[in-house]
Copies of this chain bind each other. A is one copy, B any other.
Amino acid sequence: MQFEISKAFIEKIEHLIEEQNNQELLSHLGDMHHADIAEILDQLTLDEATYVIKLLDSEKTAEILMEIDQDDRERVLENLTPKEIADEIEEMDTDDATDIISNLSVELKDEVFKNLKDREHAQHIVELMRYDEDSAGGLMAKELIKVNENWSVTGCMEEMRAQAENVTRVHAIYVVDNKGKLKGRLSLKDLITAPSNANIADVYIENVDYVDVHTSAEEVARVMQKYDLEAIPVVDEIGRLVGRITVDDIIDFIRDEADKDYQMAAGISEDVDADDSIWELTRARLPWLVLALFGGFIAVTVAGQFESAMVNYGFLFFFMPLIAAMAGNVGVQSSAIIVQSIAKGTLTGSVWKRLLKEVGLNVLNGIILSIILFLGAHFILGRDYIVAFTVSTALISVIIIASLIGTFVPIMLNRYKIDPALATGPFITTSNDIFGLLIFFTIAKYMLGF
């Protein structure tokens, strides 16, 4: 069961490719699971990977291509002829085939279509290409098993044997009427346990969850998770069954969304991986850093406004990083909890109640932290009472304001249909730095008088 690629094995494969020893290569890779071969290809050069893809059967390579990283896939495809790409497409489910074809250049797309022998498959791909990528139509595949409500169970079993050839996994059998409208579903289990002289109309389950082609991918994921569905049928504008979405597509979607929120919180604006090129990584990271730098300019200016304090209260400036860091940390905590609750769909109730709760929570945290700061500033750093009291008072004020900003901003962004995850990461830390310093120095000025 455990599959580990050893360095020695990779070297052996590379050696066999160099020698063009196809027979040996096939004996090593032929029986291997496509996901394992994909892992091996990840470690080979582009030319070596292309060599393997051209060597293996297109039934297998179609699956391998769907496993490898998108960037690598595009590079491999560039090395194949339109005929070879068409052979791969022929073996893929319509949803995967559509993803691949959509990413080809216009000319190549035409060439590939000309080489597709299975006209029905080609028509399905053309149909799927019309839908938005992030809609149910864009996620669905045409491969499904449907039976007519007027058939008998025995007739249905016959028909299914034929249809099942094209469907990798049978999640459910969908029942349609003579016009192709979705009426209900039937599990294989129901079919097996039904008396053989029954009619489909007697045994199918009418209460079937479905989405329509324009339902957003997010909503599809929510519905499938909520009702624990492994597949969901998709209907068109007039209720006709046109496709189905399976749970593995949804797992990918859930992971991508979680990754996106995480990266946003870390100040990375594109989906990047440690193995991407320096150029791609820079493009994802630099914009947030530039934003943070401009925020830093403002912070410098704010601090500069209180230059007069430097003569008698210079040590106040030593506290700036502490105040800024606490403001940033509190703000990110607050916004992260809101962002995650929005993502899970558990955020309900009034904004005011939520802000009030956040204030309550941070008054509690703020008092504890301010007492620690007071004791630390007085006994460890040796500042007198009034100064220790000043920075402690400033800290609790900064914590409360920072938490309010952290709570309020994502709720408002979400209300105006902007991704609330924007409010985590550099955006919130930078603005809280600025507000934090402003509050800190204003309170200090008032209390110490400078």
Contact = CB atoms under 8 A, between A and B. Distances in A.
B1 A211 contact: yes
A296 B370 CA distance: 13
This protein's copies in its complex = 2
Interface in A286-321: 286, 288-290, 292-293, 295-297, 299-301, 303-304, 307, 310, 314-315, 317-321
Contacts of A263: 336, 340
Interface in A302-348: 303-304, 307, 310, 314-315, 317-326, 328-330, 332-333, 335-338, 340-341, 344, 346-348
Contact of A318 (B255, B300, B360): B300
A354 B273 CA distance: 12
Contact of A35 (B167, B226, B300, B329): B226
Contacts of A160: 192
Interface stretch (A77-85, A98-106, A424-432): A424-432
A336 B262 CA distance: 8
Interface in A2-55: 33, 35, 43
A265 B268 contact: no
Given A297-B376, A300-B318, A318-B303, A329 B433 contact: no
Given A193-B161, A263-B336, A266-B333, A321 B303 contact: yes
B381 A301 contact: yes
Contacts of A361: 278, 281-282, 285
Contacts of A267: 329, 332-333, 336
A228 interface: yes
Contacts of A293: 322, 326, 369, 372-373, 376
Interface stretch (A117-125, A127-135, A246-254): A246-254
A384 interface: no
A365 interface: yes
For A262, A337, A338, A347, the residue with the greatest tally of chain B CB atoms inside 10 Å of its CB is: A262
Nearest to A67: B226
Contact of A192 (B192, B296, B317, B426): B192
A275 interface: yes
Contacts of A274: 337-338, 340-341, 346-347, 354
Nearest to A335: B266
A289 B326 contact: yes
A441 to B, nearest CB: 11
A304 B315 contact: yes
A328 B372 contact: no
A209 interface: yes
Interface of A: 1, 33, 35, 43, 157, 160-161, 164, 167, 169-170, 187-189, 191-193, 209-211, 223, 225-228, 230, 247-248, 251, 254-255, 258-259, 261-263, 265-268, 272-275, 278, 281-282, 285-286, 288-290, 292-293, 295-297, 299-301, 303-304, 307, 310, 314-315, 317-326, 328-330, 332-333, 335-338, 340-341, 344, 346-348, 354, 357, 360-361, 364-365, 368-369, 372-373, 376, 380-381, 424-426, 429-430, 433, 437
Nearest 8 interchain pairs by C-beta: A296-B322, A266-B336, A258-B258, A274-B341, A303-B318, A317-B317, A188-B188, A299-B321
15 contacts: A35-B226, A251-B254, A255-B258, A267-B336, A275-B341, A278-B357, A278-B360, A290-B368, A293-B372, A296-B326, A297-B376, A300-B321, A304-B381, A325-B328, A329-B429
